[in-house]
Amino acid sequence: MFISEKKILKKPIPQHLAIILDGNGRWAKKRGLPRSLGHYNGAINLAKIAQLCDKYGVKYLTVYCFSTENWKRPKEEVEYLMQEPVKQWYTNKDKIIESNIVIKVIGRRDRFPQDTLKMILEMEESTKNNTGLTLVIAADYGSQTEITEAVKKITQQVVDDKIKIEDINSELIENNLYTACFPKLDLLIRTSGEVRISNFLLWQLSYAELYFAKCYWPSFNKRELLKAFKSYQSRNRRFGGLNEVKK
Ligand code: IPE
Ligand code: IPE
Ligand code: MG
C-alpha cells in the first residue's frame, strides 16, 4: 500500500490515540530470543512512537503496558516488567524530561514494588510542567476495576448524602474514572493480530474507531502508524447521528 506522510498529515490526525501494545513475547520468540528482550524492544519502540505522535500533533497517547491480569505471568517475567522501566527511567530521565512529553500513569497503585511506585511518582512529578504530548501509561490497569472503583466512590457519595441517586449520570461516572481529565478517545490500535479489547478502556471506547495491526508491537513503526491514520481518515464517524463528517 502506498503511504504518503505528507497527504496523511494534511487530514485530521486523532487527538487521542490509544494503543494496546501486544506481541512483545511473540516478536522475541520468532527471533529465538527470551521474552524479556521482546519487552525491552517494546519499550524502546514506545519512546519512538510517542515522539512521532507528538510530532504529528497527537495530543494524548494512552498505552496499555500491564494489565490487572498480567500478574498471572511467571514471576521472572513480572519482575522484569516491574524493574526494567525503573532502570530505563533513571538512565534516560534527562532525555525524557527534555523531550517535553507529559507522563501520567493510570491503574491500581497498591500492588507495585516500592521502587516502581517511587519511579512512577517521580516521572509524573518531573514531567508535569512539560507542554507536549501527554503519554498516559496504563499499568496494573483493568477497565473493570476502574469502573468498579468509580461505582464504589459514587455509592459512598450517595451514602454520605453528598449526592442523590438522580444525580448519577454518564458525566458523573466519567468524572470518577482514572481518565477523567483526558479528552474522548478517537482511535484504538491493537498490534499483534489479536482482535479483542481484553480489559482496556471499556467505557471510554464508545464511538472510538478501532484498528487492528498484524505486526508485533516492537515492529510497529512509522509506516504502520501512518497506515492506521490513513484508515482512521477514511472512517465516517456518525456518533449515532446521520450526518456524514467530511474529513
Ligand atoms: C505485550 O506483549 C506486553 C504485555 C502484555 C506486558 P505480550 O507479552 O503480551 O506478548 P505476546 O502476546 O505474548 O506475544
Ligand atoms: C493485553 O495483552 C494487555 C497488555 C498489552 C498490557 P495480553 O497479552 O495480556 O492480553 P490477552 O491475554 O492476549 O488478551
Ligand atoms: Mg499478549
**Residue-range domain boundaries for the chain:** 12-142+184-233
Q: Give the start-end residues of each E strand in the chain.
A: 16-20, 60-67, 102-106, 134-141, 187-190, 209-212
| Residue to mutate (ligand 2; options 194, 195, 217; most atoms within 8 A of CB) | 194
Q: pTM of the predicted model, to two decimals?
A: 0.97
Query: In the prediction, which pLDDT does 243 show?
Result: 76
- How far, in whole angstroms, is CA 23 from its chain's centroid? 15
pLDDT tens sequence across 133-152: 999 999 999 999 999 999 99
3-state secondary structure 128-141: CCCCCCEEEEEEEE
Concerning whether 70 is annotated as a catalytic residue, the answer is yes
The CATH code of domain 12-142+184-233 reads 3.40.1180.10
Which among 100, 139, 247, 141 has a CA at the least distance from the CA of 186?
A: 247
Which one is catalytic: 41, 45, 70, 199? Answer: 70
The packing angle between helices 75-98 and 114-127, to 10°, is 20
Report pLDDT digits (tens) over 158-214.
999 999 999 999 999 999 999 999 999 999 999 999 999 999 999 999 999 999 999
Distance CA 222, CA 53 (A): 9
Give the span between the Cα atoms of 106 and 114, in whole angstroms.
Answer: 17
Cβ of 20 less than 6 Å from ligand 2: yes
Give catalytic status of residue 167 as yes or no.
Answer: no
Q: Copy the grid coordinates of residue 130.
A: 512539560
> Residue 138 has which C-alpha cell?
496504563
